[in-house]
Amino acid sequence: MIGVTGYPGVGKSSWVNAVRRVSSPNDPDYAEICVDGPTMEPMMYKFPVQTQKPCVIWDLPGVGTAGYPPEKYLQKLGIRHFDVVVLITDQRFTEAELLLLDDLRHWNVPFFMVRNKIDLDVERELDAEQDVLDNRGFGDQIEDDERREIVRDTLINVKEDLSILHHVDSVYCISSIKQFWHSCGP
């Protein structure tokens, strides 16, 4: 039993769909992506692959949403009873996510840290580098090798920041933008 949690709007439902390879909103197993509001009730989805033990993923309401205050989140949703929790964030940790991280550690709940929307950080770094080039006045563009280096350095920096600041051993960086898929491993 896998619990997927994090702050509202970080891409939990999108991750649930992606990991199960469900892409069509017309699919009955599609985890609804709430663009106009967060997931408000826990939703269970079966893994499409048969395993010895049935595997289910719970798409949980965001920590800190109405009805799920951070200080009661773990207890109210029974997170400490999951086999593993996937904690998804998309920028810096919120106070609610930090409380959740502390609770997961306190109860020895195995968890994975997933940093979503890494493409936004990469684009910000690429834009900053392009601004430097533009200020030189030569109309230069970022070379492919330099672009790859910026992508690599950004991923390393994000992972190191989360590791150092929050003592997380492995951070998985992900993006829905296909061009970043090859470089977002652990």
How do residues 112-123 score in pLDDT, each as one tens digit? 888 888 888 888
pLDDT at 179: 60
Rounded to an integer, what distance in angstroms lies between the CA atom of residue 176 and that of residue 181?
Answer: 8
pTM, full prediction: 0.81
What's the pLDDT band for 11 if we cut at 50, 70, 90? Answer: confident
- What is the domain partition of the chain in residue ranges? 2-183
What's the pLDDT band for 86 if we cut at 50, 70, 90? Answer: very high
Average pLDDT over residues 129-155: 82
Average pLDDT over residues 70-88: 86
Average pLDDT over residues 17-27: 85
The greatest distance separating any two alpha carbons of the chain, rounded to the nearest whole angstrom, comes to: 62
Q: In this structure, what DSSP letter does residue 177 have?
A: S
pLDDT at 160: 84
From the number of C-beta atoms within 10 Å of its C-beta (0-12, 13-18, 19+), residue 55 rates as middle
What's the pLDDT band for 148 if we cut at 50, 70, 90? Answer: confident
Checking if the pLDDT of 35 tops 90, the result is no
pLDDT at 3: 94
What's the pLDDT band for 83 if we cut at 50, 70, 90? Answer: very high
Mean model confidence pLDDT for the chain: 82
Q: In this structure, what DSSP letter does residue 31 have?
A: P
What is the residue whose two structure tokens read 């469900």? 22
Tell me how far the alpha carbon of residue 5 is from its chain's centroid: 9
Rounded to an integer, what distance in angstroms lies between the CA atom of residue 58 and that of residue 74?
Answer: 14
2-183 — its CATH code?
Answer: 3.40.50.300
Q: What is the pLDDT of residues 158-180, one digit of tens each?
A: 888 888 888 887 788 887 766 65
Instruction: Report which listed range, 13-22, 36-45, 70-79, is most confident.
Output: 13-22
